[in-house]
Each structure stands twice: as C-alpha cells, then as structure tokens.
A and B are shown apart, each in its own frame.
Chain A
Amino acid sequence: MIEVICSGFGGQGVLVAGMILADAAIEEGKEVSWYPSYGFEMRGGAANCDVKINDGEIPSPYCLEPDVVYTLNEQAIDTYESRLKPGGVLLVNSTLVPEGRTYRDDIVVIKVPATEIATELKNERGTNIVMLGAMACASPLYDEEKMRAAVEHYFAKKGKNNPKNAMCFDRGADAARSQL
C-alpha cells in the first residue's frame, strides 16, 4: 500500500496532483482511492487529498501514516509532517516556506522552490507539476520516467497538453536530485 497526502492552498493544484498519481496507478492496474477535503472556497482555503494505492482492496481511504507528504504551503507542513512514516519523503515548496524552519530528523526533506520555478517558466499553474517531478525523483516508490509519462497521459486525456508541463516536471526532478 502506498499512501500520499497532497496539501496546499486551493488553486495550487494539489487535488490535480493527487489525481495524476491516482490516474497513473489505475493505468498500472492498481486499486486506487482519492479522497479530497477542502473548505467552502474555490481558491485560497486549505485543500488536501489522500491518495491510497494498493494491489488489492483498499480498506480505509484515509491516510494515517503516509509514505509521502507533498506540500505546497507552510500550513500543510504544520498539519501533516508529524504523520509521515519514519524514512518517508516530505516535499517542501521553499518559495513559500522560511529557510530556517526545522524538520523531523527521521524523514527525508526535499526543498524545491516550486512556485518560483513555475513562474520562471511562465507556467504559474504548473507549480504542482514541478513538485510532482521532485517527488518522482526523490521517492523510491516512484519512477521518474513513468511519472513524466503519467503527467502527459493525464493532460492528454483532458485535451489540455501543455509542453511547459514537461519542463516544469524536469526542473522539479533536477532540484530534488541535487539534494539526494
């Protein structure tokens, strides 16, 4: 069973990031659950999703001990860092999180200026894709090439292919690689 929590502000694309992970898993014939939780706001409030992937039946869809905590703002770290499994990966959007913040010492922390990279590539809405690249590179549960293809597959299915997504993905992966 793989458990991933994606969390950030509404509008940053954390629900879509989770959906891409779910879509990738289903393409591989796995069982998947994707559970969103968010407030009343379309943008600005907290948005999270719990993604669970398994070869067989998924009992609870809620992530109690995630393997990966994928965050795009600081509040998400406040809420979910403590749940991460020892040795798990915490992805931090360093554009929005102070440099001096301290973290648990039994987890892998990957700091990626995701918002900055996406803005630089003139694809602000690709912040979530930058972080997916970082996640695919940093987490031993994921394969970078397969995840890049999964991102393309997801957007192609929606008829929204944007070549800048691949650039975002690669820059995120590179940023993570330099820290491993």
Chain B
Amino acid sequence: MAKELIKGNEALAESCLRAGCRFFSGYPITPQSDILEYLCWRMDELGGSCVQTESELAGINMLFGAASAGARALTTTSGPGFSLKQEGISYLCASDVPAVIANVQRIGAGLGDIFVGQGDYWQITRGGGHGDYRTLVLAPASVQETADLAYISFDLAEKYRHPVIIATDGTIGEMMESVELPPMKEHDIDKFDWAIRPRQEGEKQRVIWNRFWDLGNDEYPIYLVNKYKEMEENEQRWECVQTEDAEIVLVAYGISSRVCKSAVIRARKEGIKLGLLRPITLWPFPKKAFEALGPQVKAFLDVEMNILGQMQDDIILADGNRHPVEFYGEYWHTIDENKILAKVKEMLEKY
C-alpha cells in the first residue's frame, strides 16, 4: 500500500478507527485538537459517535459508559486535560474496563503552554488518580509508530481488561511523516461476557462496578497482583540502537529519542561509543532491556523535555542502581543533539 503523509495526531485517530473504535468523547486542547477535529467528520463517515463534550470529565466518563458496553472507546487530551481525567482512569482500573486514553504531552505544570513537552511522565506512569493502579503506557516516537501502537492498543486493553494510555507529545502529534496505515477491522461490541447490556432471558443482570465486589476482598488482591505481574512480564517493549558496545547509553522516549538517534550517529562519526535505549512502553518499564546490556556500559544519560528528569527514577531501578544516571533536559527549547554530545564527552571523562 502507498504511504501517506499525515500528522501524528491524525494517524492516531485513523488507526484507532481502523482498529474498530466507534466511540470518541473528548474536549479540545492544543496540541491534541487535531484528533477531535479529524474524528468529527471521519467518525460520521464510519457511522460511529464522536462527542465534543463540555469538559474533560465528561469525556472520560462518557468513555467509561461506552467501554462498559463493550465498545472500543477513545478519549484524547493534553496536559491540564489529562489531570482532569485521572478520576475516571482510576474508575476504569477499579472496574476492569478496557479503553484507550491518549495524552499528547505539552509543556509545564498548571496551565503550562501549548508547546511540546514531556513533563507528564510521573503522572502517566504512576497514575494520577486514587487507589492501587497502574496502566499500560505506550510511547510512540514517530508517526508510523503512533499508527502501529494505536492499532494494537485496544487489543492490549481488552486482553487485560484494563485502560491503555498512549503518551505522545506535541512534536510527534503535530508533525507529518510518511506512514502506512493498517487495514480496517470490525469490532464486535457483543463479544464480551462481562460487558453490560439489557438483561437477556434467564441471565443475571450484568453490572460494571468495583471488581472486588465480584471477586471478594480476599481474592481481589491476589487477582490484582497477578494481573500486574502478567503485564510486566509480557508487555515490556523497547528499541536498542547500537548498545552492543556502547559505553554511555542514552535513555529517551518519544521526540527526545529521535534527537538522541541523531546524536548517536554524530557520536559514532567521532569514534565515541554511544548507544540509545528507547522505552516504547513507559509502564511496564523495559527492565529486561537493561538486564541485557553488556559490562562495557559506564553510565546512563536520561534525555527528556522536562526540568526534573522524571524518568531517572525508573532508570536507576531498572539498572539496579549499578551505574551513574545523569540527566539532560530542555524546557521550552527543543532537545539539542550537540548538547547531548557535549554532556556525553563530559561523562566519558568522569566515569
């Protein structure tokens, strides 16, 4: 099939439709609004429902309803809007309802600004809502990968009966790249034995509520621990670039990882043994990739578009605190491959 030139946000929207998503509820916010704009007309063509809600709260709660009925449902947002969806995400987790939520990350806390950022890592990976929960988090680094991961996100959500978060950013969302879109799939809304529907003759009324009411207070904790263990075991995804002999390993996801790839090419031309470990799943964090690294590694450099270096904690944990982990970040400005290189040279002298 011929490749198309489309934006990351449009690729996400179209790919979800092709995965059988026929329900969207969300509220406009830059840099995510292309998704809503696209689905407003495209969902009509396919006979689904696209609702521009009165708020992000309505967006996540309408999705909760649609997903409870077995639909493949999507909501998308950025920064401040993602904070507003946290309560709903906690409810989805508590009731084992699969759904897909995208956060096209922008800059800053509070209102922040509309430009690209990666400041939501802690919130996305730890969960900003109440209670014991994690969510699967997919972090694409290109328009093609946005399409590919959005396409499988519903399968993953349904496999574990759990929400999946797609964490992109303002650059990956707004840039256009050549992309091959996946084929159109049908989704059968009636295929689940748990999804609510009008009560059938001879069957008990189905209900979506706290799962510990179904399983009992003794069984539920065991069930939950196993569920997360299974996700951690099966769903770690990552990409390694020239890590086989790398002395310094960059760790970056999304747009930052793209600049890191350029930095690796530049470093190798100068004879510097630099590699990149790119988490594709932010949760579960790809610990297996760290375990597979060779003994020549001297240190890690975390590269992110935020101020505090939010992913450092996970790198230290995944590495078992065996190597130094330093951080280079940008806020407002984009990541600069020359600055990465300068930092790497500094680290090579030090370690």
Contact = CB atoms under 8 A, between A and B. Distances in A.
Interface of A: 19, 22-23, 26, 30-37, 40, 57-62, 64
Interface in B93-140: 114-115
B337 A64 contact: yes
B259 A32 contact: no
A69 to B, nearest CB: 17
B114 A33 contact: no
B261 A22 contact: no
Contacts of A57: 261
A32 B176 CA distance: 8
Contacts of B316: none
B308 interface: no
Given A23-B5, A26-B3, A26-B5, A34 B175 contact: yes
A59 B5 contact: no
Q: Which of B115, B174, B177, B265 has the most CB of A within 10 A?
A: B177
B337 A61 contact: no
Interface of B: 3, 5, 114-115, 171, 174-178, 255, 258-259, 261-262, 264-265, 334, 336-338
Given A22-B5, A35-B171, A60 B178 contact: no
Main secondary structure of the interface of A (DSSP, over half): mixed
A59 B265 contact: yes
Contacts, number: 54
Contacts of B175: 33-36, 61
Given A34-B5, A35-B171, A40-B114, A58 B337 contact: no
A35 B255 CA distance: 12
Contact of A59 (B3, B114, B258): B258
Q: Which of A37, A57, A58, A61 has the most CB of B within 10 A?
A: A61
Given A35-B174, A35-B176, 16 more contacts: A19-B176, A22-B5, A26-B178, A31-B177, A31-B178, A32-B5, A32-B178, A33-B175, A34-B5, A34-B175, A34-B176, A34-B177, A59-B265, A60-B259, A61-B258, A62-B334
Nearest to B2: A26
A33 B177 contact: yes
Contacts of B264: 59
Given A23-B5, A34-B5, A35-B171, A60 B177 contact: no
7 contacts: A22-B176, A26-B178, A59-B265, A60-B337, A62-B334, A64-B336, A64-B338
A60 B176 contact: no
Contacts of B336: 64
A157 to B, nearest CB: 10
Contacts of A19: 5, 176
A102 B177 CA distance: 36
B258 A60 contact: yes
A102 to B, nearest CB: 26
Q: Which 7 A-B pairs have the closest CB atoms?
A: A59-B261, A60-B262, A35-B175, A59-B262, A34-B176, A60-B259, A33-B177
A40 B261 CA distance: 30
A36 B293 CA distance: 37
Contacts of B334: 62
Contacts of A37: 115
A60 B171 CA distance: 11
A35 B259 CA distance: 13
Contacts of A60: 258-259, 261-262, 337
A29 to B, nearest CB: 8
